[in-house]
């Protein structure tokens, strides 16, 4: 088992053969399927919903990590839970009652995450650490794949890592620290050194098919960079 988790964002996969893409990328060594849900209200783009989650569920045993970029949030939580989601995360700006939404996700049997946009301060985490299984740092503004990594996200990840470590040191349950946006072979190592343990990558993975149609080459290259990451703690 790797100490780091790679979570391909299927937003950049070939939607005409999504089930096969999911199976291929997990077979190539990825750990988690990152599933981007956009509603054309919270973000200016429209993607996929619970029906597609349900359709790909039989294609892999890997956890499906549903990233909700939608407003409002709550009605979709039970729908994605029924569709086989393992993790559901949302943006605090999109929910009227963040604590209630976090509780709802767990009540539905899923792990719960909060997503911080590039300009969202860490204060949203202050009173909900016990409700969280995952914190997702956006290193782009949400809405599209293929955007450039915002370097400030590294400092933010470091600050969140300190909070998570303090939380677990005080007896709190483990919390994954995930990053999303512009992650590639040439920056994943710096991201790991900032304390991130779970790495979303969309265009970097699905834009780099091997000659045989698989994704082993790029996943191995990402893992090799991660193996060289030093100086930081490793994922639980
Ligand atoms: C952006 C999405 C990301 C996106 C990442 O709003 O949340 O998951 O697919 O794509 P890349 O890795 O291409 O930046
Ligand atoms: Zn995402």
> Each residue of 82-124: pLDDT tens digit?
999 999 999 999 999 999 999 999 999 999 999 999 999 999 9
Q: How far is the CA of 51 from the centre of ligand 1 (A)?
A: 20
Pocket test for ligand 1, best of 13, 179, 200 (most atoms within 8 A of CB): 200
Computed over its alpha carbons, how large is the radius of gyration of the chain? 16
- pTM across the whole model: 0.96
CATH code at position 144? 3.20.20.70
Please tell me what DSSP assigns to residue 71: S
CA distances to 6, 15, 25, 31 from 2, in Å:
9, 28, 16, 9
Confidence of residue 230 (pLDDT cuts 50, 70, 90): confident
The Cβ of residue 123 has, within 10 Å, a number of other Cβ atoms equal to: 8
What is the rounded CA–CA span in Å between residue 234 and residue 230?
A: 9
Give tens-digit pLDDT for 153-203: 999 999 999 999 999 999 999 999 999 999 999 999 999 999 999 999 999
Q: Tell me which residues are annotated as active site.
A: 36, 180
Domain extent at residue 73: 3-234
Per the structure, how many domains does the chain have?
A: 1
Judge if the beta carbon of residue 200 lies within 6 A of ligand 1.
yes
Contacts of 228 (CB under 8 A, 6+ apart): 189
């Amino acid at each position: 088992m790797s100490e780091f988790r790679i979570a391909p964002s299927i937003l950049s996969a070939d939607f005409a053969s999504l089930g096969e893409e999911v199976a291929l990328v997990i077979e190539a060594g990825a750990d988690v399927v990152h599933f981007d849900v956009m509603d054309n209200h919270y973000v200016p783009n429209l993607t996929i919903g619970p029906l597609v989650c349900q359709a790909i569920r039989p294609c892999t045993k890997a956890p499906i990590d549903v990233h909700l970029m939608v407003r409002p949030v709550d009605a979709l939580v039970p729908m994605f839970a029924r569709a086989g989601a393992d993790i559901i995360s949302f943006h605090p700006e999109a929910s009227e009652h963040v604590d209630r939404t976090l509780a709802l996700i767990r009540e539905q049997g899923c792990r719960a995450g909060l997503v911080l946009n590039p300009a969202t301060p860490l204060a949203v985490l202050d009173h909900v650490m016990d409700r969280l299984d995952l914190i997702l740092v956006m290193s782009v503004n949400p809405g599209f794949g293929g955007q450039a990594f915002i370097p400030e996200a590294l400092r933010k990840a470091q600050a969140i890592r300190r909070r998570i470590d303090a939380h677990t040191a005080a007896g709190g349950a483990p919390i994954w620290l995930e990053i999303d946006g512009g992650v590639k072979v040439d920056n994943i190592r710096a991201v790991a050194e900032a304390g991130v343990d779970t790495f979303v990558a969309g265009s970097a993975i699905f834009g780099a098919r091997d000659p045989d149609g698989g994704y082993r080459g790029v996943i191995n290259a990402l893992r090799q960079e991660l193996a060289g990451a030093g100086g930081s703690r490793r994922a639980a």
